[in-house]
Chain A
Amino acid sequence: MILGTTDNLPVTAPQAQNTLDLLQLYRDFAQNINITEDDLYEFVTTPSSSRNEFFNTLDYNAQILSNRFISQTFG
């Protein structure tokens, strides 16, 4: 089956700068002050609906590089 055309360029997985800010935001989001950096890493690198929900609450920058892909940077 050949599907219709798509505009879905490969989008990079979520990137993050300054994860120390992100850690605080994640603690607020999860309402748990005991969340560690390792917990944050596990969370942001494991695809899930709650991760999407969390990223939707953040500001992010999208970039098109070399006209080939879009990178998305959070935090």
Chain B
Amino acid sequence: MIEFIVAEKYLSGNPILITASGLEANSVLDYDIYDDQSEKIYSGRAYVLTDSVSIDISSLFSKFNTLRAEWYTVVFKIDDNVVAQKIFWIYAGAVNSLLLRKLSSVNKDIFELKLNSSSNNFLLSTRSFGRYLFIPENELMPLYYYKMGKNFEISYGPGMSETIDHTSLPQEGIGVIDLNVKRKEYFDNNKALCNIIDVKNTDTGLVFLSIIITEARPARHFVKFRNSFLAFEKMAIDDIVDFHAEFTHSELKKYDDSVSRYVSKNQKTEMKSVYNATITARTNAELLWLIDMLLSREQYFIADGYEYPVLVRAEEPILQTTSGNPVSITVSIHPVDTESAFSATNTDTRSNPGIFSDEFNEIFY
């Protein structure tokens, strides 16, 4: 009997395996993939050598680079006859191989453990996978989660709580908890300032997650990045320790009549600003979060309220400690766009001196 194994849910950055077994050896299996608008996005063919075949279709979803979840249909065909079709969801993001291996050994997946769980920390923050989520006051960003099937109560403090019930939602969506907005609402209604937010399971009444807004990190500069679930997070940089310029020379080959050959000529010298800074991880959870930031493909440097696309790279190996001691590492921050040089100390980046009058700048900036 032919059997097709397609999981209900996959993460876009991890292997997406569809398996068929019970096939004839030395046969051909065709498959088509349709998106949620019933448009065919891919047709593939697998050659079956034994009686089963496993196909990794993850390369189709490599462009899944924003926070989202979408469903697709895979249709299997043998000799142009449709033999089966299955629906699966693709969620943005990835988890590391170590976690994948551990989860698979206990027959669990990340959806059951975190993303679709109503009694675990389901927030798409990689700061913590546990019961407590500590966020420094100056690193607050909206907290995202996948909505489908969730039913929980958030308590902001005495006198303000809300029940969020997504159990009747027909398909997946992205929910958000904006603590900046909720803190202000709490302040207006209760004339108090709250920092400990409890999330309870509505059925059992048990608190399974406490979000604790902690004292601000003493920092003026931040890195905003997409974490491995592709949600934005903000991390404080201890301080810019130094700045240096990197020069690159691009060469131009030009034909020189007098010597009848191509000669190299210097065309342009480009300067690239590089900033060195330190980042401190005080706990093992923070260290893992720091590694998540360094692996991110989308990073922004925040200085004076403006964001610049950058690449943040570790300048030294990150040593995992089991003692729980804080670790400080040096990172280099490379602006991606060499044209927009920024300064960590220059506050007036909006106006263009000498181009517009002060009156113009006052009105239009």
Chains A and B belong together in one complex: yes
Q: Which residues of A contact B (CB under 8 A)?
A: 1-6, 8, 10-20, 37, 41, 44-45, 47, 68-69, 71
Decide: A11 and B282 in contact? CB cutoff 8 A.
Answer: no
Decide: A13 and B191 in contact? CB cutoff 8 A.
Answer: no
Among B138, B319, B326, the most chain A Cβ lie within 10 Å of the Cβ of: B326
Decide: A68 and B132 in contact? CB cutoff 8 A.
Answer: yes
What are the 4 A-B residue pairs with the smallest beta carbon separation, nearest first? Answer: A47-B216, A13-B137, A16-B193, A10-B214
Complex: how many Å from CA A68 to CA B132? 9
Dominant SS at the B interface?
Answer: mixed
Decide: B215 and A12 in contact? CB cutoff 8 A.
Answer: yes
Complex: how many Å from CA A58 to CA B192? 15
Among B132, B188, B212, the most chain A Cβ lie within 10 Å of the Cβ of: B212
Q: Given A69-B134, A71-B196, check contact A11 B214 (CB 8 Å).
A: yes
Decide: B215 and A3 in contact? CB cutoff 8 A.
Answer: no
Q: Is B274 an interface residue (CB 8 A)?
A: no
Q: Is B183 an interface residue (CB 8 A)?
A: yes
In-complex Cβ contact of B192 among A11, A15, A47, A69 (8 A): A15
Decide: A3 and B214 in contact? CB cutoff 8 A.
Answer: no
Q: List 14 A-B contacts (CB under 8 A).
A: A1-B327, A1-B328, A4-B325, A15-B192, A16-B192, A17-B192, A18-B191, A37-B187, A47-B138, A47-B215, A47-B218, A69-B134, A69-B212, A71-B196
The residue of chain B having its C-beta at the shortest distance from the C-beta of A11 within the complex is B215
The residue of chain A having its C-beta at the shortest distance from the C-beta of B327 within the complex is A2
Decide: B325 and A14 in contact? CB cutoff 8 A.
Answer: no
The residue of chain B having its C-beta at the shortest distance from the C-beta of A49 within the complex is B218
Q: Which residues of B contact A (CB under 8 A)?
A: 132, 134, 136-138, 183-184, 187-188, 191-196, 212-216, 218, 280, 282, 316, 319, 321, 323, 325-330
Decide: A3 and B325 in contact? CB cutoff 8 A.
Answer: yes
Decide: A18 and B184 in contact? CB cutoff 8 A.
Answer: no
Q: Given A19-B193, A20-B191, A45-B137, check contact A13 B213 (CB 8 Å).
A: yes
Decide: B196 and A12 in contact? CB cutoff 8 A.
Answer: yes
Complex: how many Å from CA A44 to CA B187? 11
In-complex Cβ contact of B214 among A1, A4, A12, A18 (8 A): A12
Complex: how many Å from CA A8 to CA B280? 13
In-complex Cβ contact of A15 among B184, B193, B218, B325 (8 A): B193
What residues on B are CB-neighbors of A1 within 8 Å?
A: 316, 327-330
B211 to chain A, nearest CB (A): 11
Among B138, B193, B330, the most chain A Cβ lie within 10 Å of the Cβ of: B193
In-complex Cβ contact of A2 among B134, B213, B325 (8 A): B325
